[in-house]
Chain A
């Protein structure tokens, strides 16, 4: 199962193979959960939403166009489902973007001088959680899931320009944050 191409995996899933369903979940639970979590901000709610999205996806494989990639398609299902849940629960769904181009970067210290990288992961996670949802989503899909601009645009329904802007802003913020951390540590 692990070596199966996406096309064959889809076929096996549609034939009702439990092993194929499991493989589908194993391959894509990360992206589906990741998207759900970024929208819903709660790991239990995100797990439920991810489960529902995966079930939904497996049931609607008939509408999956052969030859396309599964990941963006699943990300889109997860995104639509999570956004809908968030709206139902009146979660404050962002400020999708801030207007205007990202400001210039502040001057940064030399990262080669940084010796302590250990706490960076934790600090980054906290900083991630505080970014607007739109930024979290694009970071998750680009840096976490390796999707390209076009695929992210497909999944979120945003124009590519919006995807880029959110991604660039988010990176700038996180880099500046890491640089500050380092400054404080010394």
Chain B
């Protein structure tokens, strides 16, 4: 075991990712090596100092929460929504329709809210010509449709307008490949 190997073990130890066997080897080396004991002490000091180094300007003032709640709760958020909806997060694990009961009702209500917002966003985009934002939102259409099916099972009421808009969106708008 060289000091070089020990540098790696020291970091694994700091991250709680060290095995018992490695820990044993590490301790044996540390007993005999001043240089590596210093490294260990410096790593501990770094850990201790880290919180100060990481505070990069967010006071937990509730300001973000206010903005988020406002965006989620009011129609004013159409524009924000359009830009947010258009960004990509992997949704490959999305299986909103699998569970029944309370969960599926919750999913359904979420999807129906999302659906209304999408339709609204689409109208706004038509008005203001945000074609690009819409197209990238549509790149997720297949997943969205699964969700909408789940929503339809759960909620039978009052979505015909947005639904129509959505069908139009899903069926008519050409999809652009990535």
Contact = CB atoms under 8 A, between A and B. Distances in A.
Interface of A: 11, 14-16, 18, 21-22, 25-26, 29-30, 33-34, 37-38, 43, 46-47, 50-52, 54-56, 58-63, 65, 76-77, 80-81, 84, 104-105, 107-112, 114, 117, 120-122, 124-125, 127-128, 139-140, 142-144, 148-149, 164, 167-168, 171-172, 174-175, 178-179
A51 B106 CA distance: 23
A38 B72 CA distance: 26
27 contacts: A11-B102, A14-B109, A16-B113, A22-B65, A29-B58, A33-B58, A34-B54, A37-B57, A47-B64, A50-B58, A56-B87, A76-B90, A77-B89, A104-B4, A108-B38, A117-B49, A120-B45, A120-B52, A124-B53, A125-B56, A127-B53, A140-B54, A144-B54, A148-B17, A168-B11, A174-B46, A178-B46
Interface string B76-116: 01001101110111110111100000110011011101100
B3 A51 contact: no
B21 interface: no
A14 B72 contact: no
Given A25-B68, A175-B42, A178-B42, A167 B11 contact: yes
A125 B88 CA distance: 31
Nearest to A15: B106
B35 A107 contact: yes
B15 to A, nearest CB: 6
Chain B interface size range: 35 or more
Interface string B6-19: 01100100111100
Interface in B31-84: 35, 38-39, 41-43, 45-47, 49-58, 60, 62, 64-65, 67-69, 71-73, 77, 80-81, 83-84
B69 A22 contact: yes
B162 to A, nearest CB: 15
B52 A121 contact: yes
Nearest to B114: A59
Contact of A51 (B14, B51, B68, B90): B68
A60 B91 contact: yes
6 A-B pairs with least C-beta separation: A121-B52, A124-B53, A63-B94, A43-B57, A25-B65, A62-B96
B37 to A, nearest CB: 9
